[in-house]
Amino acid sequence: MENLNEPKQEVLNESTILEAKLQRRSFLRYAGAGAAVVALTAAGCRKDRVAIPNMGATLDFKDDVGVLNYAYALEQLEAAFYIKVAS
């Protein structure tokens, strides 16, 4: 039968690994890798916002021309949306 009260060699090895000092080269390697991960994550979060110029068109629905202008504006908006999605 195995004695469970005596500490095993594996457990002793784990505690010495945790207490070991980190060498300067290893520290710099881990710090560089961490900085690279942070930089890549931050670069991926950048938002490219393109300003859409305001055409200055006003819509009034007093007659059929206003309704047709509104329909045309919606078509232009839809076309711009599909171009943005496709690219």
> What is the model's pLDDT at position 77?
93
| Beta carbons of 69 and 57 less than 8 angstroms apart | yes
The three-point CA angle 71-75-79 to 5° equals: 170
Residue 26 pLDDT: 81
Q: What are the tens digits of pLDDT across the range 28-79?
A: 888 899 998 888 888 777 666 666 666 666 667 778 888 888 888 899 999 9
